[in-house]
Amino acid sequence: MLTIRCVQPQDVFSVIKIAYEALPERYDPRIFNSFYESFPQGFLIAEKHHKIIGFLVGIKTHDTRAKILMLSVNNNHRKQGIGSALITKFLQEMVLQNIKQVDLEVRTNNKIAITFYKKHGFDIIETIARFYQNGEDAYSMRRILRPN
């Protein structure tokens, strides 16, 4: 059975492992604890048979705005609706937190993630040239949860 829940401190090691396997950026492991401490409602994990198989990190950037910083599902669990379950729960939680707008950046060549985010109601707002450390461009994407 799939469970989506807020991260707990003891989950952070598994999250770091998935992040290293799936995401090109290299993060200081301490940053995951700071995400948890600053906005635990935005840090969700997907768990199946007591194993963590995906996670989403979102932060609050303003009273009524949030940003998704990371989303990843274990390679051998993709295309099974787990990413969708994570983002759906995240967006529901953001409505409860009175968030009106959720932003994110995604590599312009990450077609799978762009398709995924569009399916979940995000629109491309602009292209940010050389956004990533290796010089790749990003799309800024946004979903409005509640108009002003």
Ligand X SMILES: CC(C)(COP(=O)(O)OP(=O)(O)OC[C@H]1O[C@@H](n2cnc3c(N)ncnc32)[C@H](O)[C@@H]1OP(=O)(O)O)[C@@H](O)C(=O)NCCC(=O)NCCS
Query: Is 84 a binder of ligand X (CB under 6 A)?
Result: yes
Query: Is 80 a binder of ligand X (CB under 6 A)?
Result: yes
Selected from 72, 91, 94, 143, the binder of ligand X by CB under 6 A is 72
Strands 101-107 and 138-144: antiparallel
Query: Is 101 a binder of ligand X (CB under 6 A)?
Result: no
d(CA 13, CA 25): 17
Q: 108-131 burial, b if ≥16 CB within 10 A, otherwise e?
A: beeeebbebbeebebeeeeeeeeb
Nearest position to ligand X, beta carbon: 83
Show the tokens assigned to 74: 């274990």
Angle of helix 12-22 relative to helix 30-38, nearest 10 degrees? 120
Query: Is 42 a binder of ligand X (CB under 6 A)?
Result: no
Selected from 12, 44, 52, 71, the binder of ligand X by CB under 6 A is 71
Nearest to residue 55, comparing CAs of 77, 70, 39? 70
Query: Is 38 a binder of ligand X (CB under 6 A)?
Result: no
Q: How far is the CB of 98 from ligand X (least distance, A)?
A: 24
**Helix, strand, or coil here: 133?**
coil
Q: How far is the CB of 64 from ligand X (least distance, A)?
A: 23
Stretch that binds ligand X, among 33-41, 92-100, 104-112, 124-132 (CB under 6 A): 104-112
Residues found near ligand X in the complex (CB under 6 A): 22-23, 70-73, 78-84, 106, 110, 112-113, 115-116, 119
